[in-house]
A and B are shown apart, each in its own frame.
Chain A
Amino acid sequence: MSTPTTGPDVLGAPVPRRDGRVKVTGTARFAAEVPMPGLLYAAFVHSTVAKGRITGLDVAAAENSPGVALVMTHRNAPPMAAPPAFALHPMGASGDNLPVMRDDRVRWNGQAVAVVLADTQERADRAAELVTPSYAAEPAVTTWSAAKARGTARASNYGMPLTTVSGDADAALSAAAVSVDHTYTTPRESQNAMEPHAATVVWDGDTLVVHDCTQLVSQVAVSLAEVFGLRPDQVRVSAPFVGGGFGGKGLWSYLILAAAAARMTRRPVRAALSREGVYRLVGGRTLTEQRVAIGARADGRFDAIIHTGLMAMTEHNAVPEAVTSATGALYAAGSFRLEVDRALMDTVANFYMRAPGEAPGSFALESAIDELAHELGIDPVELRLRNEPETEPVTGRPFSSRHAVEAYRAGAERFGWSARSAVPRARREGEWWVGAGTAAATYPYVRFPGGAARLVLQPGGRVGVEAAAHEMGMGTATVLAQITAERFAVPLTAVSVSYGDSTLPGVIMAAGSQQTASLAAAVAAAHRELVGGLLAAGAAAGTGSPLAGCTADTVATRDGGLCRLDDPDAWEPYDALLARAGLTELRAEQAAPPPAEMGAWSIHSYGAVFAEVRVNDVTGEVRVPRIVGSFDCGRILNARTAAGQFRGGIIMGLGMALMEETQVDGRTGRIMNPSLSEYHLPVHADVGDIDVIWTGIPDPRTPLGAHGIGEIGIVGVAAAVANGVYNAVGVRVRDLPITLDKLL
């Protein structure tokens, strides 16, 4: 179909969020806020050993505590199958594949060993304190050194071993004129969405209704059906508002336990985790240890890139931190060796956090590039531009749309990079050393199979669009309305959007920065179906219509109706077309075509990050007053929400650079800082000026020309800051976070 003519400003315009009003008035209902009569509140008892058996579990005092309706343990919990794990099962949503409360085994410090239900949260919390478990602890691997000593193995991502070899990189490194070879580490981190995980659960006969805060409604519904032996249509998962996800909001044990407890008591249950409870039951990003070695010629061109990573996982999950995934896409080099291994620890299963793999991987790679630039005496921007590839390195696949160089140059110009001193420790203002650092970023384009949408054409030229997508603040609902309005050539106000419910069409994960591409492809497919159906049902066969004889291939949309492609004046509004078909409304549901573009082309989002860094000479404190992010991510569909995604990613990257670390006590395997007072996030005073710009060049191979934008913002930020620290004070920090003790 030709380009519709709603007006040039529907796609790309900075359209305000559709959910703005309900969010600023406090009327948006999150998962823990759905009212239910007869509600019971859950409180969890967490194990205090990392591994072993529960030998005693005295629940009498808790059961006799006021208001308590149930104390559920492995002794009385109903039969439940182990949940299908993410990446191990096509519809797996669970962070691990461990059976939940099925036996006396403890597998990590913090595992739920009892759930108390009471008529108020206060009474549930008090009763949970009265449960007194005892354990026969067994030796557990709770330190990184012990995990490595136990042995390592190659990690896999979706069953594919994380190994990429091209040429003999080790020999090329040895022969290189100039080289760097260093080890970098990144710590465990927690997603820390502001909304702690929560669910309100009710059984309606044999149907399970779940109000959850997930970014995977369809997968959670199927996974819960497997756990409880139900048909998928017996589970409904609703999550219209999600208070942030960042990868952390898959399926975790609190929801399975809440559903089981609700079944036992035949009452609705609210399970709202405390902040500490989130740390105990939900996995975050795992720690990594990476080696990056680069061999270069005197002119800066790379002969060898070796990037190997080792990271901690558990025996029960399949989510690696694929730290090398960006390395094979960014630079041309004569040879590559990229490998990721894992060691096993007895902790809560690690899971995804914004740009898994790319975020920690880019810290190592982009720090090493900066180190090499200093060795070579070449400007770090220039060094990157000299190694710009013509086709995707290693695979040789053609790029669909790569304007990384334009983005880099534009960012350098906006930042004022040319004013930076190449020599560290060259600029001081009062007690502050001032430096600048840069790093490149990339994130792969993803469109998972399974996207679908339902469109409903209604009287008055109104259109409904329905899809099982997620709105966690990315702007999904707003952009989906824009996409639909553009397709139909109707005003934005004529479009209503339904999302965040497993009963809606499609499997559309809020993961991999792929929702918008998935939705754009699905809406296009459903639109074609609807237009074809509309014409066939009336106008095409009729004699009076200006569209007589037309099909979906020979019309365009214009001004709230359809017109002939070859004669835009031959036009009829939707109401007239519905009337010719004898319909009051028309529905069409269609799946998106398979993502063939991903196989044929190398498709990535690209970015360049520039950071001004100030280091206090007296205290070692690091401040980042100014960041510029310059992106090449295809066509930007909403300038306002896109800027929010870029800035949000950059700010999370700032936290990664300077403060974020989930600390595990090596003696016990217990997370030591499970709170927002001891796990530090960037606050208003930490966030300086952040300027984001983009090329906006559409990709001809992707739906609507768009690439993903949700995750690339975090990529490269930690390296840009670390490189800026080096430029400011001449100290190279290779271990995140860059806390002041590392600079004194």
Chain B
Amino acid sequence: MTTDRSVTVNGDPVPLPDDPRVSLLDLLREYAGLPGTKKGCDQGACGACTVLVDGRTGGDRERILSCLTLAVQYEGRSVTTVEGLADGDLHPLQEAFIDHDGFQCGYCTPGQLCSAVGMAAEARRGVPSHVTADVTRSEVELTTAEIRERMSGNLCRCGAHHGIVAAIATTYAGAGR
């Protein structure tokens, strides 16, 4: 059922299954024993499956929707999930989510966390959004409006939006200025 090829997930090799239809999301949840990454729609509309992958330029990790990604596309590459987000005990953003009540049911939370880490890196790199006033700047300040705009691909039905935005703003305050 598996091959000798693999994807590196949170530092550990995960063998690729021999079925090329397996999405990166299902590789994590059903094959790697890492169900922290969530399946909310399986069609790229909710963001619950967001994970971080190594950047092609070797720089920041980038956020992607693992449900719209075939596992085989990431052969030999590196993926970080919510289970691997923290260096030590908790990532500062995870602590901030607890402090700011950035979740209720917890189902969208792993996607919000991974998405926010990738989003903050995008702002540091100066990637503009729909609400960025000055697209010529090399870095983008993460105002509330920027965070709301850039996190809109991550749905939350419980309505924890304020806690999520506050947690992100606190964690990345001053970043990208």
| A residues lining the B interface (CB < 8 Å) | 16-17, 19-30, 32-33, 35, 120-123, 126, 191-196, 241-244, 246, 272, 274-275, 472-475, 640-641, 643-644, 647-652, 675-677, 681-687, 690
Contact of A194 among B19, B40, B94, B147 (CB under 8 A): B40
Shortest CB distance B82–A (Å) = 4
The reply to whether A648 and B160 contact each other, CB–CB distance below 8 Å, is yes
Of chain B, the residue at the smallest CB distance from A198 is B39
Residue of A nearest to B105 (CB): A473
Whether a CB of chain A sits under 8 angstroms from the CB of B149 is yes
For A687, give the chain B residue with the smallest CB separation. Answer: B161
Taken together as a complex, chains A and B put the C-alpha atoms of A411 and B135 apart, in Å, by 40
- How far is the CB of A471 from the nearest CB of chain B, in Å? 8
Smallest CB-CB separation from B114: which chain A residue?
A: A26
Known: A644-B160, A644-B163. A23 touches B103 (CB 8 A): yes
Min distance, Cβ B48 to any Cβ of chain A, angstroms: 6
For B155, give its contact among A123, A194, A475 (CB under 8 Å): A194
A35 to B34, CA, bound (A): 11
B 1-58 contacts with A by CB, 8 A: 17, 19, 21-22, 26, 29-30, 33-46, 48
The 6 closest A-B pairs by CB, nearest first: A26-B36, A473-B104, A648-B159, A243-B107, A23-B106, A473-B105
A-B contact pairs, 9 of them (CB 8 A): A17-B103, A25-B85, A120-B30, A194-B158, A195-B105, A196-B39, A677-B43, A683-B152, A683-B155
Check A243 against B162 for contact (C-beta < 8 Å). no
* Docked-complex contact B30 and A16, CB < 8 angstroms: no
Inter-chain CA distance A195–B149, complex, in Å, is: 23
Residues of B within 8 A of A643 (CB): 101
Q: A194 to B97, Cβ gap below 8 A?
A: no
With A33-B35, A194-B48, A644-B104: A684-B164 Cβ-Cβ less than 8 Å: yes
Partner pick for A26 among B37, B45, B104, B152, CB 8 A cutoff: B37
Contact of B42 among A274, A650, A684 (CB under 8 A): A274
Of B19, B40, B99, which contacts A122 at CB under 8 A?
B19
| B154 to A, closest residue via Cβ | A684
In the complex, what residues of A have CB within 8 A of residue B173's CB?
none
Bound CA span A192–B108, Å:
12
Taking CB atoms, residues of chain A closer than 8 Å to B37 are 26
- CB–CB B152/A685 < 8 A: yes
- B147 proximity list for chain A (CB < 8 A): 684
CB distance from B107 to the nearest CB of A (A): 3
Question: For the complex, what is the distance from the CA of A244 to the CA of B34, rounded to whole Å?
Answer: 21
Q: In the complex, which of the residues A33, A126, A644, A684 contacts B101, with contact meaning CB atoms closer than 8 Å?
A: A644
Assembled-state Cα–Cα distance A144/B108 (Å):
35
What residue in chain B is nearest A692 (Cβ atoms)? B162
Question: Which residue of B83, B158, B159 is within 8 Å of A25 (Cβ)?
Answer: B83
Given A27-B83, A196-B39, A648-B160, residue A121 in contact with residue B107 (CB < 8 A):
no
Do B157 and A30 touch (CB < 8 A)? Answer: no
Query: Is the pair B148, A685 in contact by a Cβ cutoff of 8 Å?
Result: yes
The answer to the question of B171 belonging to the interface, with a C-beta cut-off of 8 Å to chain A, is no
Contact A23 B159 (CB under 8 A): no
Hey, which chain A residues are within 8 Å of B152, CB to CB?
Answer: 683-686
User: Are A244 and B107 touching (Cβ within 8 A)?
Assistant: yes
Closest Cβ neighbor of A194 among chain B residues: B107
Question: Interface SS of chain B: helix, strand, loop or mixed?
Answer: loop
| Cβ–Cβ contact A25 & B105, under 8 A | no
Chain B interface residues (CB < 8 Å from chain A): 17, 19, 21-22, 26, 29-30, 33-46, 48, 81-83, 85-86, 90, 94, 97-99, 101, 103-110, 113, 147-149, 151-165
A474 to B81, CA, bound (A): 26
Q: Which residues of chain A are near B46, meaning CB under 8 Å?
A: 194, 275, 676
Task: Return the contact of B82 from the options A26, A120, A651, A686 (Cβ within 8 A).
Answer: A26
B130 nearest CB across to chain A (Å): 8
| Contact B159 A684, beta carbon cutoff 8 Å | no
Known pairs A120-B30, A193-B105, A193-B107 / 16 extra A-B pairs, C-beta < 8 Å: A21-B98, A26-B34, A26-B37, A30-B35, A32-B35, A121-B30, A275-B42, A644-B163, A649-B159, A677-B44, A681-B157, A683-B153, A684-B147, A685-B148, A687-B162, A690-B162
Contacting pair B26 A275 (CB below 8 A): no
The CA-CA distance from A677 to B26 in the complex, in Å, is 21
B105 touches A17 (CB 8 A): no
Residues of chain B contacted by A241 (CB below 8 angstroms): 105-106
How near does chain B come to A550, taking the closest CB pair, in angstroms? 41
Chain B residues in 8 Å Cβ range of A33:
29, 35
Q: How far is the CA of A451 from the CA of B62 in the complex (A)?
A: 48
Q: Are the CB atoms of A16 and B99 closer together than 8 Å?
A: yes
Chain B residues with CB below 8 A from A21, complex form = 90, 98
Q: Verify B98–A16 contact, CB threshold 8 A.
A: yes
Q: Which B residues lie within 8 Å of A194 (CB)?
A: 38, 40, 46, 48, 105, 107-108, 155-158
Q: Nearest A residue to B20 by beta-carbon distance? A: A122
Chain A residues, Cβ within 8 Å of B29:
33
CA distance A555 to B22 in the complex (A): 63
CA–CA, A367 and B40, complex, Å: 35
B137 to chain A, nearest CB (A): 21
Q: How far is the CA of A568 from the CA of B45 in the complex (A)?
A: 60
The one of A24, A30, A650, A677 in contact with B98, judged by C-beta atoms closer than 8 angstroms, is A24
| Chain B nearest Cβ from A432, distance in angstroms | 15
Closest chain B CB from A575 CB (angstroms): 32
| A676 and B165 form a contact (CB under 8 A) | no
A508 to chain B, nearest CB (A): 18
Contacts of B41 in A (CB 8 A): 196, 275, 675-677
Q: Are A121 and B26 in contact (CB under 8 A)?
A: yes
Q: Which residue of chain B has its CB nearest to the CB of A654? A: B159
> Please, which residues of chain B bring their CB within 8 A of the CB of A647?
159-162
Residues of A within 8 A of B36 (CB): 25-27
Asked if A24 and B97 sit within 8 Å, CB to CB, the answer is yes
Known: A275-B40, A681-B157. A29 touches B35 (CB 8 A): yes
In the bound complex, what is the Cα–Cα distance between A676 and B45 (angstroms)? Answer: 6
- Whether B101 pairs with A640 at a CB distance below 8 angstroms is yes
Q: Evaluate contact between B106 and A473: CB separation under 8 angstroms.
A: yes
Residue of A nearest to B99 (CB): A16
Are A644 and B159 interface neighbours, CB within 8 A? Answer: yes
Q: Is the Cβ of A687 less than 8 Å from the Cβ of B148?
A: yes
Q: Which residues of A contact B83 (CB under 8 A)?
A: 25-27
Residue of B nearest to A119 (CB): B1
Quote the shortest CB–CB distance from A212 to chain B (angstroms). 15
CB distance from B39 to the nearest CB of A (A): 7
* Chain B residue nearest to A475 in the complex (CB): B104
Per a CB cutoff under 8 Å, which of A26, A29, A192, A650 touches B159? A650
Q: Given A120-B19, A644-B104 in contact, is the A192-B157 Cβ separation under 8 Å? A: yes
CB neighbours (8 Å) of B35 from chain A are 26, 29-30, 32-33
Shortest beta-carbon distance from A266 to chain B in Å: 21
